[in-house]
Each structure stands twice: as C-alpha cells, then as structure tokens.
C-alpha cells in the first residue's frame, strides 16, 4: 500500500466526517427554527444572540474561505510548502473545534418531525445538493486551470481522479457555511405550499364548528393565567355540560385547528378554547375560526414584548377576543389595571378580588394547606375552599366560577368541584417529596406571575431556594424586569440559584442591591446542576424549592 492509498483513505474519512457535520448542524438549526416558531426574523436574532456557538459550529468553513487563495499561492511557489503544511494543521484544529461544538447535546424538547418539518427538510436537501454541486464544479474548474500552469502533464480526468475526494470534502465543508440559512430559505420557498395546506385544515375546522349548531364556544386569553383558568373552567362546566377544551398549551391557530379536527364531536356542548398570541391579529385569526359565544380576558401584562414591542399592542391584541363577541358576554378580570382601564361597549361581566366587581372574592385565608374565600354576586354569597394556594389562584377560580354560574350552575353545585381542583402541571404545582417541597412554576414566567410565585415561597417555613433562569422575550425591558425579580426575591428566599449567565447578571444585581448575601447567590449551567447544589446544602428542616421558569433549548 503506497502513500497515495493512505492519502485517499484519510480524505475519504474526512468526507464522512464532513457529511456527518453537515447533517448534525442541519438538524440542529432545524430544531432551533421549530422552537423559534418557524419565524425567519426570530431565527436570525437567535443567531446573533448565539454568535459564539454559531461560529464554533462553522469554524472549519471560515478557514476554508481562505483555502483557495492559499492553495493557488502554493501552486506558484514551491518554497511555500512549510506554509501549506501549517495550513493543514490549522484545518484539523478548526475541524476539531467544529466537531466539538456540533456534537449532539441533550435537549429538553426534541425536534418533532411534523409533516411541515419533513417537507422543509426535503426542500433543504434539494437546495443543499444544488449548492454542493455548484461549489464542487466551480472549485474543480478553478484548481484545474491553476494546476495546468504548473503541472501541465496531467489530463483533466487524471487530475479529477487524483483529487476526487479532496474536492468532495472541501465542497461539503464550504456548504456547511450555508446550513444556518438553508432552512430559512426552504421555509420561504415552501410558504405557498404551507399556506395552502393550513388553509385546507382551517376551512375544515370552520366546517366542523359550523356543523355544531348548538355548540357554545368560550374563548380565553391573557398574558398569564389563561391556561389555569381554562383547566378550572373545564372542571366546573363539566358539572352540567359535556366539555371539550384545548389540551395543554394548544393555543395557536393550528393548535386550535388540530383540536377541533381531531377531538370535537357531536356529543360536545361546550368548547373551551385557549387563545395565545405573540403578534397582533393572531387572536382574531382564532376567533374567526371558532366564533366564540363568550370570552374571558384573564390578565394583560409585559410578556412577549420582544415581538409585541409595546404594552399598547398587547392590550389591543388581547381585546381582539372581546371584539369577536356579538351577542354573548365578555368576562374581565378587573384586578388587572390594563383591563380595567380599557373601555368596551360589550355586555361585560367583571370579576376579581375585592368589592366593585360583578363576581368578587373576599375574606381570603391562605395557608400551606390551601385557600378559602367567600364568593359574592349581588346578594348571594358562598364560601369556597381549595387545595390551591395563593390569591392568583383565587382570581382564576373566580373567573371560572363567573362563567359557570352565568351558564346556569349554582354556587352550591360548584362547591365540591372547586374543592377538588388540582394545580395545573408546572404552574405553581406543589410537589412534596420527603424533606423537600417543590413549587413547580417552570412552564413560563412573567413579572406578575413570578411575583406571585415568590410570595408563595415566602409563606413556607423552612430553607427556601429560588431556582430560575430569569425571564425572556421582554425586549428592551428584559434587564430591568429581571433585576426587579432579583429585588423581590431578596425578601422571599434564603438561597438564589441562577441558571445560565444571560439573565443571571440583572437578577444577581437586584439581589445584591437589596442586601442579599453574595455567598448565597449561585450560578449554574443547568437545572440539574442547580438541584445538585440544593442537595449539597445541609438543613435540619424542610427545603422549599421554587422552580421559576424553565427555558427551552433555543435560550
């Protein structure tokens, strides 16, 4: 076996490594694109925020951008062999960096190969193949022309046979440079197809809704509290009606469409539909499909400011659910100042805590075991008890009671159901395990919800821990609001475990400004590391652990 055989074997192995690199990075960028809602603008911002990791993945491609001029220089100057050898060493170093950054990492939510993703991947594969062959042919033409000026004795076929694998490897690695943008381009190309498919599903959902003449649809939205209110309302209405609700967080247009097409049957009398939005017009889009009879706005606050840009846009978008009501009722949480200060000319029913609403709770008593309150409507009152803890839960329960009572279920009939209500998973869910009590509020986080969670943490006796990566999607207010989170936490916890470095800086700053001990602020890379730190702290009593938010893999 001669030198050329070993050289070809090495290049073949490099080709395989290069192809694996391309596939790993393509899957990674597709995964992030899915988490970013298939939005090109959000994806490009994500690239900017993660520029170091991006450059690490594409490191070998940036080195190859200078490979052609250096190679040409080498062809003309036999004494530059040492320089070319150093370039080879640099290539392997850069390749190693790209491999390290590109190795698969454990994800919280894996890439879901939906039909849309599969279509996008097929289009991306075609784009990549076209790009690869273009780079391959251009590279060969450039190198062969330059090669002839020095080594004229090789024919084109001999030259190609000699360097075949070299050019495949180089073309693959040059193509790697474009992988972050191929998925965005594929999504753009597929837009007409996706729109056609989505419209078909939307029209089918509309047809199903229209065929249920007696179906009562209740739309629920809010910056926070909407999912909990939906779950509670589903339980309360089930006392009298056959109810379908959108599961988990199926609150986007296509999530609602999927629920209608897969789950709505002739047996259902009420459809409780949660409606979420990150941009103006998205709630109206859902309302146009399901035609809500009644609607409820649970809250309005500073959430998704990065896409909404202002609180005024959030208010306008949330009230799209009220604009869709023609002859029904709009239920409004009048404890929320943004809702209270927004006048509407609809049949509205107000609810909340304290007098001055159509439905209101007072005499609230909260303990570690649960909450009791008195529900008032006009001259009628009823005492309720629930295992759920906190005034925020009382607000959501009162909203659900208001709709259920309006729809003909008496307060006395609702008593047992309210008492049996269970916390919604990952939304201030209490989990007791031996010497630990976990307050799981990891689904999402916003300034008002985080404050309520910290107030709950403060109520418990024991060694209190806050574990949080902070809050995101708050635009220019993100630093300030995370700092305020730290200021609030200083009075509610004994240890602050901050996950990740991005939001840790403002939270730690807020903690320190309120005199929180610096040796009780601990920054970790992951939730697992955070829990390990909690376990390392010795305590004779109970450990109370608040899990406030859990960011997905794109953060």
> Concatenated DSSP letters for 319-371?
THHHHT-SSS-EEEETTSHHHHTS---S-EEEEEESSSSSEEEEEEEEETTEE
Q: What is the pLDDT of residue 445?
A: 75
pLDDT digits over 130-161, tens only? Answer: 888 887 777 666 665 555 555 555 555 555 55
Q: Judge whether 501 and 438 are in contact, CB under 8 Å.
A: no
Confidence class for position 1, pLDDT limits 50, 70, 90: very low
Neighbours of 46 (CB within 10 A): 20
Is residue 200 included in any domain, yes or no? no
Same domain, 265 and 295: yes
Once rounded to an integer, what is the mean pLDDT over residues 368-381?
90
- Range with lowest mean pLDDT among 75-84, 232-241, 254-263, 418-427: 75-84
pLDDT digits over 4-36, tens only? Answer: 555 567 667 877 888 888 899 999 999 999 988
Confidence class for position 530, pLDDT limits 50, 70, 90: confident
Confidence class for position 122, pLDDT limits 50, 70, 90: very high
Same domain, 499 and 464: yes
pLDDT at 2 exceeding the cut of 60: no
Q: What is the pLDDT of residue 306?
A: 72
373 membership: H or E segment, kind and range? strand 370-377
Once rounded to an integer, what is the mean pLDDT over residues 475-479?
79
Once rounded to an integer, what is the mean pLDDT over residues 152-174?
62
Q: Judge whether 495 and 457 are in contact, CB under 8 Å.
A: no
Same domain, 373 and 300: yes
CA atoms of 149 and 142, how far apart (whole Å): 12
Q: Tally the domains of the chain.
A: 3
Same domain, 99 and 42: yes
483 membership: H or E segment, kind and range? helix 478-489
Q: What is the pLDDT of residue 159?
A: 52
83 membership: H or E segment, kind and range? helix 81-102
Which range of 11-20, 74-83, 121-130, 520-529 scores highest in mean pLDDT? It is 121-130
Query: For all residues of the chain together, what is the average pLDDT?
Result: 84
Same domain, 14 and 153: yes
Same domain, 392 and 457: no
pLDDT at 82 exceeding the cut of 70: no
Q: Judge whether 328 and 292 are in contact, CB under 8 Å.
A: yes
User: What CA–CA distances, in Å, run from 360 to 89, 334, 339, 380, 387?
Assistant: 73, 10, 16, 11, 19
- Which residue range(s) make up the domain with 46? 3-191
Q: Which residue has the higher pLDDT, 162 or 25?
A: 25
Same domain, 376 and 458: no
Q: What is the pLDDT of residue 250?
A: 85
Q: Closest by alpha carbon to 392, among 423, 357, 348, 347?
A: 423
Q: What is the pLDDT of residue 399?
A: 96
CATH of the domain at 481: 3.90.190.20
CA atoms of 74 and 187, how far apart (whole Å): 41
């Amino acid at each position: 076996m001669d030198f050329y055989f070993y050289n070809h074997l090495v290049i073949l192995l490099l080709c395989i490594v290069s192809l694996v690199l391309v596939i790993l990075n393509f899957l990674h960028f597709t995964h992030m694109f899915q988490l970013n809602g298939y939005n090109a603008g959000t994806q490009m911002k994500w690239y900017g925020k993660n520029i170091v990791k991006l450059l690490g993945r594409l490191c070998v491609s940036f080195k190859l951008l200078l490979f052609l001029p250096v190679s040409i220089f080498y062809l003309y100057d036999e004494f530059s062999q040492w320089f070319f050898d150093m370039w080879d060493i640099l290539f392997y170093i850069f390749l190693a960096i790209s491999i390290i950054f590109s190795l698969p990492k454990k994800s919280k939510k894996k890439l879901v190969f939906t039909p849309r993703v599969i279509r996008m991947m097929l289009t991306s594969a075609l784009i990549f193949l076209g790009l690869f062959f273009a780079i391959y042919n251009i590279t060969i033409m450039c190198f062969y022309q330059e090669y002839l000026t020095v080594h004229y004795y090789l024919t084109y076929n001999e030259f190609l046979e000699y360097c075949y694998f070299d050019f495949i490897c180089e073309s693959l690695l040059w193509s790697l440079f474009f992988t972050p943008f191929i998925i965005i381009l594929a999504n753009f190309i597929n837009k007409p197809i996706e729109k056609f498919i989505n419209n078909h599903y939307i029209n089918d959902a509309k047809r199903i809704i229209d065929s249920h003449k007696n179906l009562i649809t209740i739309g629920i939205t809010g910056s926070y509290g909407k999912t909990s209110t939906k779950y509670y309302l589903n339980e309360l209405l089930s006392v009298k009606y056959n109810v379908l609700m959108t599961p988990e967080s199926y609150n986007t247009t296509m999530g609602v469409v999927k629920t209608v097409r897969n789950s709505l049957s002739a047996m259902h009398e009420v459809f409780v539909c949660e409606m979420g939005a990150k941009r103006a017009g998205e709630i109206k889009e859902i309302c146009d499909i399901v035609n809500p009879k009644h609607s409820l706005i649970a809250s309005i606050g500073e959430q998704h400011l990065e896409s909404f840009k202002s609180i005024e846009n959030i208010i306008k978008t949330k009230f799209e659910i009220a604009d869709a009501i023609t002859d029904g009722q709009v239920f409004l949480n009048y404890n929320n100042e943004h809702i209270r200060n927004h006048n509407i000319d609809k049949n509205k029913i107000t609810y909340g805590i304290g007098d001055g609403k159509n439905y209101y709770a007072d005499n609230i008593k909260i303990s570690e075991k649960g909450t009791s309150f008195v529900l008032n409507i006009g001259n009628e009152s009823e005492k309720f008890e629930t295992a759920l803890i906190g005034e925020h839960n009382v607000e959501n329960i009162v909203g659900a009671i208001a709709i259920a009572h309006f729809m003909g279920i008496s307060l006395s009939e609702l008593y047992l159901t309210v008492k049996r209500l269970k916390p919604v998973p990952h939304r201030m869910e209490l989990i007791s395990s031996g010497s630990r009590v976990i307050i799981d509020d990891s689904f999402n986080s916003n300034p008002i919800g985080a404050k309520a969670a910290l107030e709950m943490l403060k109520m418990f006796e024991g060694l209190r821990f806050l574990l949080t990566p902070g809050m995101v999607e708050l635009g220019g207010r993100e630093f300030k609001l995370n700092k305020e989170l730290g200021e609030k936490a200083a009075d509610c916890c004994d240890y602050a475990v901050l996950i990740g470095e991005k939001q840790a800086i403002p939270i730690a700053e807020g903690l320190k400004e309120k005199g929180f001990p610096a040796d009780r602020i601990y920054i970790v890379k992951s939730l697992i590391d955070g829990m390990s730190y909690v376990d390392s702290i010795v305590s004779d009593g109970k450990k109370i652990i608040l899990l406030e938010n859990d960011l997905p893999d794109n953060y």
